[in-house]
A and B are shown apart, each in its own frame.
Chain A
């Protein structure tokens, strides 16, 4: 158990819909990362937040957005869903203190199926 929690574990929805994925980081971690993993694309970095602010942005679509709240939990919002958005979505957290690298602790993931 990494200490990172993600809800829901599974999500089935239809094209065009909007969903919200939630992540709670490990106690004390300030950074939250979101990743998308599909069979043909591997592990794709989407976005990172540090202490409530956007820190780095990867291959995140304009239909997707995220935020980190004052209690440090994060939400990933996916809208106008397409079949190709079906994937495992992972959240990770790290402390990201001075001199550290970027050791991340991953949650169990949310499996999104778009029908």
Chain B
């Protein structure tokens, strides 16, 4: 069962790039790495997902080293509206059979004006 570890909180100024790292030493071969964003009293929202190397979409980048034991979510030029809790999720896809889904405890990002 892959366990994830993230920093509890981070502060950043508006306009800066923010990097949040998640450790998942026991990641399995079939596990994907997915990041979610959650605002208070709302359900988490998908940000980005990857298996290895680098993935980029319109809101973030995800860096995964070759050993896949960690991953880094990169948010370019954050704004106040990026203040939220960010979760790293490690879990397998459908074809891997039965699996567990492990959310980290989340990183509370506070963006400062």
Q: Which A residues contact B (CB, under 8 angstroms)?
A: 2, 4, 31, 33, 35, 42-45, 48, 50, 55-56, 58, 88, 90, 92, 96-109, 111
Contact = CB atoms under 8 A, between A and B. Distances in A.
17 contacts: A43-B44, A45-B100, A45-B103, A55-B98, A56-B99, A58-B100, A96-B93, A98-B94, A98-B95, A101-B91, A102-B89, A102-B92, A104-B34, A104-B44, A104-B46, A105-B46, A106-B45
A106 B39 CA distance: 12
B94 A48 contact: no
Contact of B41 (A2, A102, A107, A109): A109
A71 B87 CA distance: 30
Contacts of A35: 103
Contact of A33 (B87, B93, B94, B101): B101
B43 A102 contact: no
Interface size class of B (residues with CB under 8 A): 20 to 34
B101 A101 contact: no
Interface in B22-51: 32, 34, 36, 38, 41-46, 49, 51
Nearest to A88: B41
Nearest to A105: B46
Contacts of A109: 41-43
B5 to A, nearest CB: 12
B6 to A, nearest CB: 10
B105 interface: yes
A104 B32 CA distance: 12
A100 B95 CA distance: 9
Contact of B102 (A45, A48, A103): A45
Contacts of A106: 36, 43-45
Contact of A42 (B34, B43, B106): B106
Given A48-B101, A58-B100, A98-B94, 11 more contacts: A2-B43, A43-B38, A56-B99, A98-B95, A100-B94, A101-B49, A102-B32, A104-B34, A106-B44, A108-B42, A108-B43
